[in-house]
Amino acid sequence: MLFVAGWTGQSLAMPTPAMISGTVRDVRGTPQMGALVELLRSDATTVATAISDDHGRYLMPMVAPGRYQLRATAAFFVPFSRNNIRLRAGVQSVVNLTMSAVFEADNWLPAQRRRADEPVDDWKWTLRSTASRPLLRLVDPEDGTSVSTSAEQSHRVSSQGKIVLTNGDGGFGDGGMHQALVLDRTMADGDGAVFRADLGNAGGEYPAGPSVAVITGYERRTPFSGSTRMVSSFQSHPEMMSGGSTNGLQVLHLASTQQFTLGDTFLIDVGTLLEAERLEATRLEAEPFLRLTLRPGSNVVVEYRLATGRELQSSDDLDQLEPTLTAVTDARGRPLSDSGLHQELSVSRKLGSRVVSASAYLDRFDYSAIGGSGLMGRGALQAVGAVADPTTGTFEAAAPGYAGRGLSVSLMQPLTPALSAWVEYDLGTVLRSKGNLVMTDLAAGTSPQTASAMSAALRGKIARTGSDLRVEYRWQPLRTLTQVNAYNATPEEAYLSFYLRQRLWCGRLLPQGVDAVVEATNLLEQGYQPVLAPDGQTLFLAQIPRGIQGGLSFNF
C-alpha cells in the first residue's frame, strides 16, 4: 500500500500532469519504510509529499511539469537531495533514492559515546559521502518512462581532498599554526584508502623545529565477513620537553582491526594497537581489544567490550585521523605505559525515535595522566616525571593508578534527521584531590573516590545552513582530576566545549567547498586546581586545559 499526501490544487488542475515514483533504499539496498519524500520548487516551496511504504516505494501521481528538487528524510539517515529533476507532461519518471545512515549499519545504536558521528570524523565522512552517493541518470525511452540508476550504483570510484589551516593555543601537542592535507580514495567495491599529513609550526618564540604527523589507512570491505582496517601513524614533536630528553617526543602507531558479521544478529570486532614511544628511552606496547555485539531483536543491541588501551577500543576508533597525544614519564624520563583494563556490558534499546542505553563497567588504570597549565624548567620536569608543551603552556604529569567500577545511562533524541540531543549520567571512580597538592607527591594528595557526572550535548548538522555543530557541557564535582567513565570519555567532554564548521557562501569571491572551523575545549576554564611545582611556582591541574583553535578548510 502506498501512502500519498499533500499535493497542491494547482497540480490537480493540470490537464496533462506528470507523475514521479521510485524506491527509497539504504546503501546496502534495503528498502526503507516511512521516509518522507518531498518535491520542491527552485524557491524551496513544497509541491508534493509522499511517505514510502513497507517496500520503500513512494508515488506522487499528479504534479505540474517542470524542474524540481527531490528530497528524502528519515530518522537516523542523512537527508538526501536530488537537484534539477525534469518532469514532463504525461510522463511517469522513476527516481530511486539511496540514503546514507547517520551511523554505520553495524553501529546504529550509540552504545559507545566514542562512536558518535563527529564532524571531525574525516574517514567516515569520506566513506559515507562517496561510497553511498548514488548516480542519477534520466532518459526518455519510447514508452514515456524516465528511469534512474541511483539504486543500482551504490558505489563509485571517487577521490577527494581537503586542506585545513588552523591556529590557536590548542591543547597538549596541538598548538601553533597547523597545515593539514587529507587525501582519500573510495573504490567501486567500497574499499577505501586515506592519507593525512599535518605540519605544525610553533612560531619564532620557540626554537624547536616543526611538529609532523603522518597517518595512512586502508579499509577493505567484504560482502559477508565485514571489513579489515589497517592504519599507521607517526608523530614527531620536537617542541616537547621532559626532564632527560632533548630530542622531543616521537610516537609510532600500527593498528589493525577485523570485523566479522553473522547475518544481522552478531558482530565480532577484534584488533590490536602496537605503540612505540620515545623520549629519553623507548617504550613498546601492544594493546588488544575485543567487542561482541548481539541483536536479539530489531530494536535491541547487547554489547560486551574488553579493551586494554583507551585509544583503540573498536574498529570505529580508527575513523579519527587526528589521534590524541598523551605522554608522561617516570623520574628518569622513560615513557610510562598507558595500558590498563576495561570491561563493559551495555544494552541499548530503540524507543520510537529515541535510543536509551545503559551499561556497567570495570576499570583498571596502571597510572593516570593528568593535564595541567603552566611552564616548568627541565629540572622540575625531571623531579615530577612530567612532559611539557611550551607552545601551549600545558603539561601532563603521572598520577597513581586505581581500579573502579561504574554505571552509565544515556538518552539520544533526534531533533531533526541530522541533529540529535544527548543526555548522559555516569557513576564511577575518579581521582580526587584532598586539598593542597604538591607535584612531587601527587599520590599523597589524591585518592580514588566514587563520583557522578552529567552531560548534555547537541550534535549534528543544521539544515539549510551548511553548519556542522557540536556543543557539550559536562559537569563533575569539584576537585576531581580524572573523568568519570574514562574509557568512554573523549577530550572534548570537559565542561563547556563546542565545535562549529560553517560553509562559507561568498558567491564568486571564494571557491566552492570553503569552510570556517572553530573549536573550543573547556571554554570557561573550569576544574582548575592549584599545585605547587618543585621550583616554587604555582601551576594548575585540570582534566583538560582550555584550548581554542580556528581556521579554514578547503575541500576539493
CA distance linking residue 122 with residue 178, whole number of Å: 17
Classify residue 311 by its DSSP letter.
S
Average pLDDT taken over every residue of the chain: 79
Phi, psi of 11 (to 5 degrees): -65, -40
Q: Single out the residue in 93, 127, 147 at which a domain terminates.
A: 147
**247: in domain:** yes
CATH code for position 37? 2.60.40.10
Classify residue 485 by its DSSP letter.
T
| 186-221 pLDDT, tens digit each | 776 668 888 999 998 866 555 677 889 999 988 887
Q: How confident is the model at residue 426 (pLDDT cuts 50, 70, 90)?
A: very high
387 - beta bridge partners? 242, 396
Type and span of the H or E element at 443: helix 442-445
User: Computed over its alpha carbons, how large is the radius of gyration of the chain?
Assistant: 26
Q: Give the residue carrying C-alpha cell 608543551.
A: 389
Residue 518 pLDDT greater than 80, yes or no: yes
DSSP string of 4-66, one letter each residue? EE---HHHHT-SS-EEEEEEEEETTS-B-TT-EEEEE-TTS-EEEEEE--TTSEEEEEEE-SE
List the domain range (segments joined by +) for residue 33: 3-147
Q: How far is CA 193 from the centre of its chain?
A: 18
CA distance linking residue 556 with residue 546, whole number of Å: 32
Residue 91 sits in the same domain as residue 163 = no
Residue 216 sits in the same domain as residue 344 = yes
Residue 495 pLDDT greater than 80, yes or no: yes
For residue 530, the tally of other CB atoms under 10 A from its CB is 12
Q: Yes or no: say if 235 and 199 are a contact pair by the CB < 8 Å rule.
A: no
Residue 143 sits in the same domain as residue 171 = no
Q: How confident is the model at residue 315 (pLDDT cuts 50, 70, 90)?
A: confident
Identify the pLDDT of residue 132: 32
Largest CA distance in the chain: 89
**237: in domain:** yes
Based on DSSP, count helices (H) and strands (E) in the chain, helices before strands: 4, 33
Q: How confident is the model at residue 107 (pLDDT cuts 50, 70, 90)?
A: very low
Amino acid present at 31: P
Sign of torsion over alpha carbons 361, 362, 368, 369 = negative
**325: in domain:** yes
CA distance linking residue 510 with residue 514, whole number of Å: 7
Q: Single out the residue in 147, 179, 204 at which a domain terminates.
A: 147
Residue 383 sits in the same domain as residue 507 = yes
Q: Yes or no: say if 112 and 359 are a contact pair by the CB < 8 Å rule.
A: no
Residue 209 sits in the same domain as residue 133 = no
Residue 68 sits in the same domain as residue 22 = yes
**169: in domain:** yes
Residue 129 pLDDT greater than 80, yes or no: no
Q: Yes or no: say if 259 and 267 are a contact pair by the CB < 8 Å rule.
A: yes
**Total residue length of the chain:** 556
Q: Is the pTM of this model over 0.85?
A: no
**41: in domain:** yes
The answer for residues whose C-beta is within 8 angstroms of residue 392's C-beta and 6 or more apart is 169, 170, 171, 172, 173, 174, 175, 545, 547
Residue 140 sits in the same domain as residue 165 = no
Cell readout for 42 is 527552485
Name which of 470, 483, 556 is nearest 517 in CA terms: 470
In terms of Cβ atoms closer than 10 Å to its own Cβ (0-12, 13-18, 19+), residue 296 is exposed
Cα distances from 321 to residues 120, 216, 393, in angstroms, run: 8, 9, 24
Residue 460 sits in the same domain as residue 355 = yes
Say which residue, 445 or 209, is predicted with more confidence.
Answer: 445
Cell readout for 38 is 518531498
Identify the pLDDT of residue 393: 84
CA distance linking residue 83 with residue 93, whole number of Å: 14
Residue 297 sits in the same domain as residue 176 = yes
Q: Yes or no: say if 51 and 59 are a contact pair by the CB < 8 Å rule.
A: no
Residue 61 sits in the same domain as residue 163 = no
**265: in domain:** yes
Cell readout for 395 is 603539561
CA distance linking residue 193 with residue 228, whole number of Å: 12
Identify the pLDDT of residue 421: 93
For residue 233, the tally of other CB atoms under 10 A from its CB is 20
Direct distance between the N- and C-terminal alpha carbons of the chain, in angstroms, rounded to an integer = 43
Identify the pLDDT of residue 179: 92
Q: Single out the residue in 105, 124, 147 at which a domain terminates.
A: 147
Q: Yes or no: say if 128 and 522 are a contact pair by the CB < 8 Å rule.
A: no
3-state percent helix, strand, coil for the chain, nearest multiple of 5: 10, 55, 35
Q: Please tell me the total count of domains within the chain.
A: 2
Identify the pLDDT of residue 175: 82
Residue 313 pLDDT greater than 70, yes or no: yes
Residue 201 sits in the same domain as residue 136 = no
| 140-167 pLDDT, tens digit each | 333 333 333 333 334 456 788 889 988 8
CATH code for position 323? 2.40.160
| 48-62 pLDDT, tens digit each | 889 888 788 999 988
**275: in domain:** yes
Residue 370 sits in the same domain as residue 290 = yes
Q: Which region among 90-99, 180-189, 290-299 has the lowest average model confidence (pLDDT)?
A: 180-189
**153: in domain:** no
Cα distances from 126 to residues 129, 157, 333, 513, in angstroms, run: 5, 12, 40, 14
Q: How far is CA 481 from the centre of its chain?
A: 25
